[in-house]
Amino acid sequence: MPNCLAIDVAKGKSMVTLISSCGEVLIDPYEINHSINDFSNLLNRIKNLKLDDISVIMESTGIYHRPIERFFLENNFKVFVINPIYGKMQKRNIRKTKTDKEDCFNLANLFFTNTFKKYNKPDQLYLDLNALSRQYFALDELCVNIKNRYRNLLYLCFPEYEEIFKGNTVYSSIALKFIEKYPHADIISNTRINKLQTFFKKHEFRYWKSKAALIKEMALKSYPSVNMNDELVSNLSQMARLINEYQKDIDIIKYKITFLAKKSKYFNPINSIYGIGDFTTSIIIAELGDINRFNNIKELTAFCGLDPSIKQSGKSINVHGPISKSGNKYMRKLLFICCLNIVRLSSKCHIENDIEIYYRKKRNEGKHHYAAIIACTTKLLRQILALCKQLDK
């Protein structure tokens, strides 16, 4: 007879109860901390009951359910980690009473009345790739915020820097090191030109003489918003140092992700798609994991949050609503950028590409540019899934 260990997860603690399929409460709901002692005591209580078929069900709660998930997987239990939406949709009672004990009973009822996929722990390769991917996105987001602050400080301390280091070269390693050392126009004005030349020559800059002369000339003409003793000047120096450090860390992570992703059997098929490079392929694999776990394109699009929202009222039904955005936001962003690149490259190189043709079709139907790109992301997902599924046949 099947039995269900229902766990209502919270931060650092959980409410647990064990219920049989006939509704008998074998272990009354009680609270445990996420510690080895409480986990071991619960395991002993379960073993003392001498039951054969026990399944563990819990809601996915970001990172808080991970200790319990790990413990029961290592002890060879059947673990079901479900989407919280299922629990939210489960009807409780007329008065809408919500307690941790009540949530445990609802989870058990959900388990016995529905069919869920057993949780299979991914290979360590995909876990490592996902960890690196999330670290990359976290550092990249921090770097963007710091770059915005850096640009504002540049305008206040030496606005001519944006003319000296044009475009993205203001974020180059040599520019960041120079601005970290000379963050204000007056500091450069008070520095001998041969010292500036030595800096560029030391970093093997090709036009070290002319560059130093140009900076010196502009510094003498400049009138910044703040004087050289202002605290904003030291802030600029600090921002330049942080960007340089973050960019080094990001480059290391990029190398690690690409190196590990090439060990996956899905790397070459995805990389063969026109417009997708090595690093983009690596991030796709890191976020999707073992793609074979998706049975069809509907599951994959739902995972990425690209499935359309459907609204029906009476005879009126809208099956072409906006995307749900309830899935992996990193994959949505990545697929969107991939499709933009594919369309742009195809139009420039005059290459007949399925994605580009589909984009033009949607545009001719009157779709907005962004709506057409979103439609292309689903088509790109179909291509990725089809190529990967061919390996497993």
CA distance 380 to 184: 48
Structure tokens at 271: 């990389």
Strand-pairing partners, residue 316, are: 313
The answer to whether residue 281 scores a pLDDT higher than 90 is: yes
Ranges in the chain annotated CATH 3.30.420.40: 3-113
Residue 88 banded pLDDT, cuts 50, 70, 90: low
Task: Pinpoint the residues of the chain covered by CATH 1.10.287.
Answer: 127-260
Task: Give the bridge partners for 32, in sequence order.
Answer: 14
| Cα-to-chain-centroid distance, residue 373 | 20
SS3 27: strand
* 126-178 confidence digits (pLDDT tens): 999 999 999 999 999 999 999 999 999 999 999 999 999 988 999 999 999 99
Rounded Cα gap, residues 57 and 52, in angstroms: 16
Model confidence over 15-60: pLDDT tens digits? 999 999 888 899 999 999 999 999 999 999 999 998 888 999 998 8
Residues 304-341 pLDDT 10s: 988 877 655 555 455 566 787 888 899 999 999 999 99
Confidence bin at 118 (pLDDT 50/70/90): low
The dotted CATH code for 3-113 is 3.30.420.40
Mean pLDDT of 235-252: 96
pTM score: 0.82
The confidence band for 94, taking pLDDT boundaries of 50, 70 and 90, is very low
Give me the chain's average pLDDT, please: 88
CA-derived radius of gyration, the chain = 28
d(CA 380, CA 355): 7
Q: What is the CATH number of domain 127-260?
A: 1.10.287
